Structure 1
Amino acid sequence: MPLFECPSKLCFVNRKKGNLILQLRASKFLKFQEAKIQELADHVPKGHIPRSMTVHFRGEITRKVAPGDDVELSGIFLPIPYTGFRAMRAGLVADTYLEVMSVTHFMKKYEEYELRGDEEEQIAKLAEDGNIYNKLAQSLAPEIDGHEDVNKSIASSSGGSSSSEAKGWDEESASQTHYKCRTQGVYTTGRGSNGVGLTAAVQKDPVTNEMVLEGGALGICAIDKFDKMDESDRTAIHEVMEQQTFSIAKAGITTYLNARTAILAAASPAWGRYDLRRTPAENINLPPALLSRFDLLWLTLDRADMDTDLEMARHVVYVHQNRESPALGFTPLEPSVLRLSPYVPKELEEYIATAYSSIRQEEAKSNSPHPYTTVRTLLSILRISAALARLRFSETVAQSDVDEALRLMQMSKFSLYADDSQKSGLDAISDIYSILRDEASRANKMDVSYAYALNWIYRKGYSEAQLKECLEEYAALNVWQIHAHTFDIRFIDA
């Protein structure tokens, strides 16, 4: 900082404080940046909190780091001496900071990343694999059994990144798995966060005494106990979820920050147990305006189902005995270097518009008390389709991506508003196809007899007429072939 009082001996002897006036034309200005660094969460010993330190950047090394970056800083550890009356009471105690001399980035930008030969070969194999989507969903926490569509939704929201450290399936383990996919991810709970921590705060800079913005936690954000947040704090992320920006007008600062983030939130029933006679908004105690901002909403209930319960019990016993999840038949995938920006081709624009309008018309005809499809739904279809195309390492969105996005949204709607008595009328064809595919994959067979298929769907509560309708529809899509007389099924290997 420049001097404000004259340090000459003449002024000191005469006991006159000469005021110095800063001459801007004769001054040399250097770039300066102050930041706080915090050690990584996986480096913190158990039972401790992450340590933080104030660092100063000067000159050309300013603006080399951003919130969430994984960096190594080299510099000089210096004290900040107190002045005035505070210096008389502080004694030898002083604040400290690190004068940074060099910055080393451990996580490069995607456009700066140079692929190795083995990485290019692995990406090429994954791009040619027609089953990459299902493998990515299974790679998301292999210890978790069941909830395939929920895992697919989480995989699509994380853009293909996945982690496998959760120990059981509940909303907390799924949220923590999602946030660990990215270095910039942040996991928090509803009671432990507020609007300032999730967005940005205006604070006073101790060096310049000016008001500055400090960013919050929204990188990839996983929030558990979402319903336990105060209403005033929860509304702070409404704009983030809708516009992917955050506007702030405080202390003379009027600006907006980019917040291109994926939010995974988990909530518990308001009365401790989900009441099927009430709407999801009443059970979760969240306003419909906030629920409509999510692309997908999944309701996971503990329903009594013989096949599901047996499979879950065998899975838990296996993990308990072997202390590891059953083999998946392939190595869990970790594609973390490729980033594409898929676009929707013109030939699919009319298809998406027709699908959206058809869903709206069906809801209008059914007089559903729970309207679900809005303009935000159309944007959700586009986002999920682009995410699915990225999972396939494709630069263009295919019709199959749109169909899968529509199926996920339909199954999400089914989990919220349909009970067992409505199961046969909502999306039976898609559900029957999933049953046949999963059973054939579990038995490692390409051929399925009609009798076995009929037995499987009977156990799930569907009829033979629905099975035949499913066979005809997917045979027209060249997913399988049907024998003309016996109706046996042969899956077509893609």
Structure 2
Amino acid sequence: MADTGKFNERDYTSAKERVGNFFKEFVKRDGRKKVRVYADQIREIAHREQTSLVVSLDDVSEYDPELTEAIINNARRYEKIFSDSVYDLLPEMKTRDSVPKDTLDVYIEHRIMMEQRLRQPGDTHDPRNNYPPELLKRFEVYFKLPAEQKMSSVRDLKAIYLGKLIGVKGVVIRCTEVKPLMSVATYICDQCGAETYQPIISNQFTPLDTCPSQDCKTNKSGGKLALQTRGSKFMKFQELRIQEHSDQVPVGDVPRTTVVYARGENTRLCQPGDHVNITGVYLPQQKAGFRQMMSGLLSSSYVEAHSIIKMNKLETAELEEDLTEEELQAIQEEDFFEKLAGSIAPEIFGHVDVKKALLLQLVGGVDKRPADGMHIRGTINVCLMGDPGVAKSQLLGYVTRLCPRSQYTTGSGSSGVGLTASVMKDPLTGEMTLEGGVLVLADGGICCIDEFDKMHENDRTAIHEVMEQQTISIAKAGIMTTLNARVSILAAANPLYGRYNVKKTIEQNVNLPAALLSRFDLLFLIQDKIDRESDLRLAQHIFYVHQNCTEPQLSFTPLDMKLLRRYIHSCQKVDPYVPEELTEYIVKGYVAIRKDARGGGADAAFMSPRTLLAILRLASALARLRTSEIVEKEDVDEALRLMEASKASLHNQPDAQNKRPQSVVDRVYHIIQEFASSTGSNSARISELLDLCTSKGIKQSDFDKAIKEYEELNVWQLNQNGTRLTFI
């Protein structure tokens, strides 16, 4: 703590002296030795080894609390004071000559050397004083907020914060290209050859026209100035627009946005869709000319960025924390797949297979990129169709909260450009720029689209390319480009007639074309069927959740959202492969599915060759869940079972209500009977029958139960080894 006496904020000299003492005297302990943090950084700046100096206000508060408060309340002024103080300390901190880094360094060194050669003997005038400090400063000063200060929402930025150092959080929705911004204009006179410098402190300036040198004034030659870009100073400039998070928007209101100006080292740190924390100075926007006349007394505002931190990186750092042995043991116990799936929206009753599909969608498959440039997607697309009130939207909302990078939208409130990308005119440069839509913002995550059937057909066609090629091709207003949209689609659709009509096909019920439905890896039809026992359990479950705001007691303890998110993130690092011995097995399973669809029934449209890739993606996701490098036969069996469950939910024949529901044991019997009839043999190997049944989505335990039950009924018998079955 420095003994600084009474602090006068208005005294520039006193404030500059305090800042200089802070740079020289502040030390931090690094083990047993003390380190002068800022003095060492200024020395690196003097040697052109560092271009920015980040001043932590926690350090300033430790040295001088009054100075910290003054910086926060008048950040723009103290930014200049800190910059001037560093500039004054550079000569004494410089211990060796530095190599020029760019053209401006060479220009400045050459001009100073010429001044030293031309000055008279005994002249103690510093040649650097002939140049504006803004030209000679080759560094930037940024402030870092104290750790205890919370980030504000965009909605909380008010007039009382103008000129102050603030922290704001939001989602980046637009980034302009990085362009050079002139900070010092250099002119040369066409008569006397004198150079004139003009510091620029805003986004607009009026170029000088007449030479102000003493020679032109004495001779009255009226020399004209010409802008010399070689001697002018430029800095990188980028404009961002951030929007407040969706959970911070009040009901019935629209999200607020604000403009952020990033300069120098703060450019190219984020892209649309990134969640960011920004520290900066909140300032009014200066307008000039006709714009000022039109706006009158109104003024817009912006944030001059001092620090931009991607929250995605912070979340990734949190997600990449290694799971402890206790956590892994709690997750990877018996029936861990059912436990992980049950941990997804445990407040929602039932929907076991749907939750398993959502879990596999969160994990995802493995992207394949052959040498010829072809891309085979690894993302899994899921569509939930069904009657109103079966918790489709609640499942979408939970997945949106669980996935670190996700976007939620509705079909009725989305347009084609809102989903893909829109072409906007940049108000600063006047150029046409692209502004990413929902699918671009969700790149690398999940995009949840509710009321999928309410979307207009012209807008819905924009999703076709995204769902298979994972890209968005744009050819508008002279902009021809391809944007990445490596996103999984989770869609929910209601039946066209209010409730599902079993007498109509899937396309007729949900009014979606087969070309779009075939792009979904899994389609689940969730029907609200009347059943006294299930209705009773559902009502009790809903009442308990409504009364206690938590799920009822389950047979297992659901994982909390943070632990589930960390485990899914660790699973995504694994890249499993399919071994050669499983190739024939997967092909047979796919051919069997295609054979069932060959009759041209209601489900024929969904059994396209894309189904084979869907099986591989689901099996790879299951292997990832086990953190295994190899896809096992059990993974393929579960993938085929989910495909069969998805397919079975869609098979609602008109006379289905008049038929007695078929048990799993009966299904096994009919499958074996059909196999014996097709082969013309009264015996078969058990392993062959097991493969056939598992490809139909039947578990091995159910298969063994059926074999034993019908053996006791003397329908068939097994040999002594239990490896061959013979009909009696």
TM range (shorter): 0.7 to 0.9
Contact 2:665 2:706 in 1 (8 A): no
Partner residue, 1:68: 273
Name the CA distance, whole Å, in 2 between partners of 1:478 and 1:62: 65
Distance 1:311 1:89 in 2: 65
Q: Deviations over 1:124-161 (max 9, x none)?
A: 3256323221112111111111111111111211229x
Q: Describe the SS at the equivalent of 1:318.
A: helix
Residues 79-90 of structure 1 aligned to structure 2 (within 5 Å): 79-90=284-295
What residue in structure 2 maps to residue 451 of structure 1?
none
Deviations 1:221-278 (A, max 9, x none): 1111111111111111110001111111112221111111111111111122221111
Question: C-alpha separation between the residues in 1 aligned to 2:710 and 2:544?
Answer: 38
Alignment of 1:140-219 (within 5 A): 140-159=344-363, 169-218=390-439, 219=442
The 2-side partners of 1:353 and 1:210 are apart by 53
Q: CA RMSD in A?
A: 3.6
Task: Work out whether residues 243 and 257 of structure 2, in 8 Å CA contact, stay in contact via their aligned partners in 1.
Answer: yes
1:397 paired with 2:631, answer yes
TM-score (norm 1): 0.78
Is the 8 Å Cα contact of residues 640 and 697 (structure 2) preserved in structure 1? no
SS at match of 2:501: coil
TM-aligned CA distance change 1:423 to 1:388, over 3 Å:
farther
Q: Does 1:335 align with 2:564?
A: yes
What are the Cα deviations for residues 437-460 of structure 1, in whole angstroms up to 9, with x where unaligned? Answer: xxxxxxxxxxxxxxxxxxxxxxxx
Structure 2 CA distance for partners of 1:296 and 1:46, relative to 1, 3 Å: same
Paired residue type of 2:309: T
User: SS at 2:526's partner residue?
Assistant: coil
* Change in CA separation of 1:478 and 1:131 when aligned onto 2, cut-off 3 Å: farther
Instruction: Indicate the SS of the match to 2:313.
Output: coil
In structure 1, C-alpha distance between the alignment counterparts of 2:583 and 2:419, rounded to whole Å: 36
Amino acid at match of 1:120: T
Q: How does 1:42-441 map to 2 (within 5 A)?
A: 42-108=247-313, 115-116=320-321, 119-125=323-329, 128-159=332-363, 169-218=390-439, 219=442, 220-328=446-554, 329-333=556-560, 334-337=563-566, 338=570, 339-347=572-580, 348-364=582-598, 366-371=599-604, 372-419=606-653, 420=656, 428=664
What is the TM-score when the length of structure 2 is the normalising length?
0.55
CA contact (8 A) 2:390 2:526 kept: no
Equivalent position amino acid for 1:264 in 2:
L
Which letter does structure 2 place at the counterpart of 1:39? E
CA–CA separation in structure 2 for the residues paired with 1:389 and 1:109: 28
Of 391-400 and 236-245, the range deviating more from structure 2 = 391-400
Q: 1:244·1:259 contact (CA, 8 Å) conserved in 2?
A: yes
1:417 to partner: Cα distance: 2.1
Give how far 1:422 is off: 9.8
CA distance in 1, matches of 2:403, 2:340: 16
Aligned counterpart, 1:7: 208
State which structure, 1 or 2, has the greater radius of gyration over its C-alpha atoms.
2
Q: Are 2:240 and 2:259, in contact at CA under 8 Å, matched by a contact in 1?
A: yes
**1:429–1:470 Cα contact (<8 Å) kept:** no
Query: Structure 2: how far apart are the matches of 1:103 and 1:170?
Result: 39
CA distance in 2, matches of 1:373, 1:384: 16
Stretch of structure 1 that moved more, 355-364 or 140-149:
355-364
Alpha-carbon deviations, 1:156-206, whole Å to 9, x = none? 11229xxxxxxx742221221222222421111111111111111111112
The one-letter code sitting in structure 1 at the alignment partner of 2:651 is Y
Relative distance call for 1:332 and 1:480 in structure 2 (3 A) is farther
**Residue pair 1:188, 1:224 contacting (<8 A) in 2 also:** yes
For 1:19 and 1:233, locate their aligned partners in 2 and report how far apart those are by CA, in whole Å. 55
- 1:486 Cα deviation (Å)? 11
Within 1, Cα distance between the matches of 2:461 and 2:283?
42
- The answer as to 2:240 corresponding to 1:35 is yes
Q: Any unmatched runs of 5+ in structure 1?
A: 161-167, 433-465, 488-494
Match of 1:474 among 701, 705, 714: 701
Report the Cα offset of residue 88 of structure 1. Answer: 2.8
Secondary structure (helix, strand or coil) at the match of 1:255 reads: strand
CA deviation digits over 1:409-446, x for unaligned, max 9? 111111112343698899945999xxxxxxxxxxxxxx
What runs of 5+ residues in structure 2 fail to find an aligned partner?
Answer: 1-180, 186-204, 365-388, 669-692, 715-728
How far is the alpha carbon of 1:479 from its aligned partner? 13
The SS at the match of 2:350 is: coil
Matches of 1:17 and 1:241, distance apart in 2: 65
Distance in 2, matches of 1:48 and 1:147, equals 34
CA displacement, residues 105-141 of structure 1 (integer Å, 9 cap, x when unaligned): 3332787568546x33355325632322111211111
CA distance in 1, matches of 2:709, 2:575: 35
Q: How far is the alpha carbon of 1:324 from its aligned partner?
A: 2.7
**Matched residues in 1 for 2:361 and 2:417: separation?**
24
Corresponding residue pairs, total: 440
